């Protein structure tokens, strides 16, 4: 049955994609489907000709109607970050549940790590086994052009898991090169290299890799990371063919990560995607893409005695989608299409499983001649195990003045239970196989302003109601080893939040920004009374982030970031990080100070975070 299903799915996908790839491109006047100029952290940047995050039609729509933040290359260079996860922890409304640089959970607007969707160049990276693997990417930070963060629901575009928000990591397409070496606290050392070139007939090739090792910030948290990838862009059939491949290995001590045991874990990731886009002047843009992702995880319960307990998992995702974009009127753009996929699992603990899925979607955008912009979309997802879900969405913005804009959006989102939540069992956990999908309804409204060049701000309020919320829970006050954590559906939980952002940039290289996110949670489920939540009902309640950037003579600069936060049920914590940069021998030296106040607040697993640490690095980079 397994083999027949895979073969049937593959044949159907190949036939459909071959057909659409052979469709001729139809000319229309220039200017249709062109990119939009939008603001990043410090300066305007240009998104892809066809956007990836927040809309399949218009790059302008989500930036006008939704809470979107873009960490561009300049912003990333100012951060004391060594990987994508490090960079994300400074985004508005985002919480990074870091256990070590080798393993981090991601939360947006109080949504758990299973409720956030992660993409790389628009390709799904979220793992069907568990959200703990969502940031096990194959992309070194030096290869990242920007990170796009959409806060709020997006199931109408991307299907399951896009409840709290979506993160899209976009790699550079511009041939360039860079090399760096860094070392610092806890015996950490890393090396990175990235390079690319443009050949005859428009062929572009870009690739790079990274190696990092560390003794870890406490006993049993040592790690080694190897990752890299290659991208090819080439003219083909009147359009552009894109092919990307990547691989990564993470081997790390996982002592007390998920349970009080001296565990060790090895995770291998592999990705491959191939897509095609017609020429920009095509009237009907039919875009096929196929993708594949595999993730192997070997979890040893007792590092010095693997025979006492070991879980081995391999998950594989096959996906194919076709998107068609048209512009039937001068101010109306439409996109529609479908996707099919197959998720597979081979596991010593969860069993061998395979589940098929599919979806149909459509989106429309109206860009008025005046101050009004509107968009709407709807998606029907069908899953072999838990059935069908319909996810609608709508958004709009209106310019009160050229410098002040109001925005609003609403939508439904969902996620199905992961294989871990349905089938996992160990001495501390017991999963329930008949969990229902989570369903959430969200609405938000905001005000955005730009009083004068360099002075910008935004305030956004949101509300999310989640039904059948999936969580691990046990009776409050339980003692480890006596009562198991059980996966369950909590009947209802209400999240209310406020996000405030403001920045002042009086001149190039100098700026101050302040961002705050505040969250309240109410669970009115009778079933939840008297229960202790492990993940979903313990979000970060309050968070304030202050950033100061200053360029100093001789091209040097300093960037300081301070955060104050409080998780529901925990005490307030504070952390200050800093990066100092200095031009040196055709490159740049940087000194990072992390957790300068030596805070020892608990991480997502209840263990003390890494203490004060310092890292010194040198980077050479060619022009992008």
Looking only at the bridges linking them, the beta strands covering 455-475 and 165-171 are: unpaired
- Taking the model in full, what pTM does it have? 0.89
Query: From the CB of residue 473, how many other CB atoms can be counted at a distance below 10 Å?
Result: 21
Ranges assigned E (strand) in 19-93: 37-39, 44-46, 67-72
How many domains in the chain?
1
DSSP label at 435? P
- Per the structure, the complete domain to which residue 292 belongs is given by 2-621
**Residue (of 558, 550, 622, 547) closest to 589 by Cα position:** 558
- Write down the residue that tokens 């985004």 correspond to: 91
CA distance 452 to 438: 43
pLDDT for 280 equals: 79
Q: Is the dihedral of CA 528, 529, 534, 538 positive or negative?
A: positive
Looking only at the bridges linking them, the beta strands covering 429-430 and 485-507 are: parallel
HSE at residue 541, side-chain half, CA atoms within 13 A, is 13
Q: Is the dihedral of CA 51, 68, 65, 519 positive or negative?
A: positive
CB distance 501 to 494 below 8 Å = no
Buried b (16+ CB within 10 A) or exposed e, 479-504: eeeeebbebbbbebbebebebbbebe
**Residue (of 280, 464, 362, 331) closest to 55 by Cα position:** 362
CA distance 154 to 413: 7
Helices (H), 408-485: 419-423
pLDDT for 370 equals: 74
pLDDT for 232 equals: 94
CB distance 129 to 345 below 8 Å = yes
Q: Is the dihedral of CA 222, 130, 415, 326 positive or negative?
A: positive
Query: From the CB of residue 398, how many other CB atoms can be counted at a distance below 10 Å?
Result: 17
CATH number, domain of 13, equals: 2.40.170.20
CA distance 443 to 448: 17
Which residue(s) pair with 397 in the sheet?
373, 407
Ranges assigned E (strand) in 221-284: 223-236, 239-255, 262-277
Which are the contacts of 508, defined by CB distance < 8 A and separation ≥ 6? Answer: 551
**Residue (of 158, 607, 329) closest to 148 by Cα position:** 158
Helix (H, G, I), strand (E, B) or coil at 60: helix
DSSP 579-592: EEEEEETTEEEEEE
pLDDT for 21 equals: 36
Which are the contacts of 457, defined by CB distance < 8 A and separation ≥ 6? Answer: 448, 449, 451, 500, 501, 502, 503
CA distance 484 to 451: 55
Helices (H), 254-320: none
CA distance 2 to 4: 6
Structure tokens at 536: 């979903």
Residues recorded for the chain: 624
Looking only at the bridges linking them, the beta strands covering 531-533 and 455-475 are: antiparallel
Query: From the CB of residue 11, how many other CB atoms can be counted at a distance below 10 Å?
Result: 10
Helices (H), 152-274: 155-158
CA dihedral 133, 134, 139, 145 (to 10 degrees): -160
Query: From the CB of residue 539, how many other CB atoms can be counted at a distance below 10 Å?
Result: 22
Walking along the chain (624 residues) 10 residues at a time, the average pLDDT comes out as 41 37 33 32 37 78 90 90 92 88 90 91 92 92 92 94 94 84 97 90 90 95 96 92 96 90 95 92 90 96 92 96 91 94 95 96 88 94 93 95 94 94 87 92 96 90 92 77 82 90 89 93 63 70 92 88 85 92 92 95 86 95 69
Q: What is the largest CA-CA distance in the chain?
A: 70
| CA distances from residue 612 to 103, 185, 426, 594, 595 in whole angstroms, order as listed | 19, 9, 35, 6, 5
pLDDT for 353 equals: 94
CA distance 569 to 211: 38
pLDDT for 621 equals: 81
| CA distances from residue 313 to 422, 429, 536 in whole angstroms, order as listed | 15, 17, 24
**Residue (of 51, 95, 53, 211) closest to 142 by Cα position:** 211
Ranges assigned E (strand) in 476-555: 485-507, 510-523, 531-533, 540-552
Structure tokens at 3: 């083999």
Helix (H, G, I), strand (E, B) or coil at 49: coil
CB distance 292 to 272 below 8 Å = yes
CA distance 615 to 307: 38
Q: How far is CA 303 from the centre of its chain?
A: 31
Helix (H, G, I), strand (E, B) or coil at 496: strand
CB distance 518 to 498 below 8 Å = yes
Structure tokens at 209: 């890799």
**Residue (of 557, 552, 621) closest to 590 by Cα position:** 557
Phi-psi map region of 356: left, alpha, beta (phi>0 left; psi -120 to 50 alpha): beta
CA distance 422 to 347: 13
CB distance 60 to 46 below 8 Å = no
Question: To which H or E segment does residue 186 belong?
Answer: none
Which are the contacts of 261, defined by CB distance < 8 A and separation ≥ 6? Answer: 255, 301, 302
């Amino acid at each position: 049955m397994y083999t027949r299903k895979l073969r049937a799915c593959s044949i159907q996908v190949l036939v459909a994609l071959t057909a659409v790839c052979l469709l001729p491109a139809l000319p229309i006047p220039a200017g249709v489907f062109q990119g939009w100029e939008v603001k990043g952290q410090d300066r305007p940047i240009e998104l892809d000709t066809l956007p990836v995050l927040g809309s399949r039609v218009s790059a302008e729509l989500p930036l006008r109607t939704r809470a979107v933040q873009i960490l561009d290359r300049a912003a990333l260079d100012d951060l004391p970050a060594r990987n994508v996860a490090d960079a994300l922890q400074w985004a508005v409304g985002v919480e990074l549940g870091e256990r070590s640089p080798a393993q981090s959970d991601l939360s947006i607007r109080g949504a758990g790590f299973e409720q956030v969707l992660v993409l790389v160049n628009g390709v799904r990276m979220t793992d069907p086994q568990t959200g703990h693997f969502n940031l096990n990417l194959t992309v070194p930070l030096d290869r990242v052009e920007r990170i796009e963060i959409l806060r709020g629901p997006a199931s109408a575009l991307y299907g399951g898991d896009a409840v709290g928000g979506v993160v899209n990591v976009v790699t550079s397409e511009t041939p360039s090169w860079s090399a760096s070496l860094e070392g610092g606290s806890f015996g950490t050392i890393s090396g990175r290299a990235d390079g690319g070139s443009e050949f005859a007939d428009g062929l572009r090739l870009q690739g790079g890799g990274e190696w990092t090792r560390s003794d870890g910030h406490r006993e049993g948290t040592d790690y080694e990371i190897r990752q890299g990838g290659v991208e090819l862009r080439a003219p083909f059939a009147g359009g552009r063919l894109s092919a990307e491949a990547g691989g990564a290995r993470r081997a790390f001590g996982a002592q007390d990560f998920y349970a009080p045991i001296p565990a060790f874990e090895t995770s291998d990731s592999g990705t491959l995607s191939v897509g095609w886009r017609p020429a920009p002047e095509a009237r009907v843009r039919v875009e096929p893409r196929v993708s594949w992702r595999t993730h192997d995880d070997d979890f040893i319960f007792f590092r010095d005695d693997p025979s006492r307990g070991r879980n081995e998992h391999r998950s594989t995702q096959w996906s194919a989608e076709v998107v068609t974009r048209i512009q039937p009127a001068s101010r109306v753009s439409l996109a529609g299409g479908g996707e099919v996929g197959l998720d597979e699992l081979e596991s010593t603990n969860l069993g061998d499983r395979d589940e098929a899925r599919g979806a149909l979607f459509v989106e429309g955008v109206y860009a008025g001649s005046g101050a009004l912009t509107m968009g709407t979309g709807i998606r029907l997802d069908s899953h072999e195990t838990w059935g069908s879900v319909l996810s609608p969405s709508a958004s709009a913005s209106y310019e009160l003045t050229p410098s002040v804009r109001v925005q609003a959006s609403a939508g439904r989102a969902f996620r199905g239970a992961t294989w871990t939540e349905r089938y996992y069992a160990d001495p501390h956990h017991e999963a329930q196989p008949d969990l229902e999908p989570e369903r959430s309804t969200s609405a938000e409204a905001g005000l955005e302003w730009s009083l004068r060049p360099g002075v910008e701000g935004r305030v956004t309020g949101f509300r999310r109601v989640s039904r059948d919320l999936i969580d691990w829970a046990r009776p409050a006050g339980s003692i480890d080893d006596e009562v198991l954590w059980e996966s369950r559906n909590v009947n209802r939980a209400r999240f209310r939040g406020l996000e405030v952002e403001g920045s002042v940039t009086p001149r190039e290289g100098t700026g101050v920004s302040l961002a705050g996110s505040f969250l309240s949670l109410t669970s009115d489920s009778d079933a939840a009374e008297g229960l202790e939540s492990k993940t979903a009902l313990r979000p970060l309640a309050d968070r304030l982030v202050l950033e100061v950037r200053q360029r100093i003579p001789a091209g040097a600069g300093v960037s300081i970031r301070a955060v104050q936060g409080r998780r529901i049920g925990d005490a307030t914590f504070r952390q200050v990080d800093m990066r100092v940069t200095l031009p040196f021998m055709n490159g740049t030296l940087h000194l990072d100070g992390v957790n300068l106040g030596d805070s020892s607040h608990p991480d997502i697993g209840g263990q003390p975070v890494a203490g004060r640490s310092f890292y010194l690095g040198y980077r050479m980079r060619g022009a992008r």
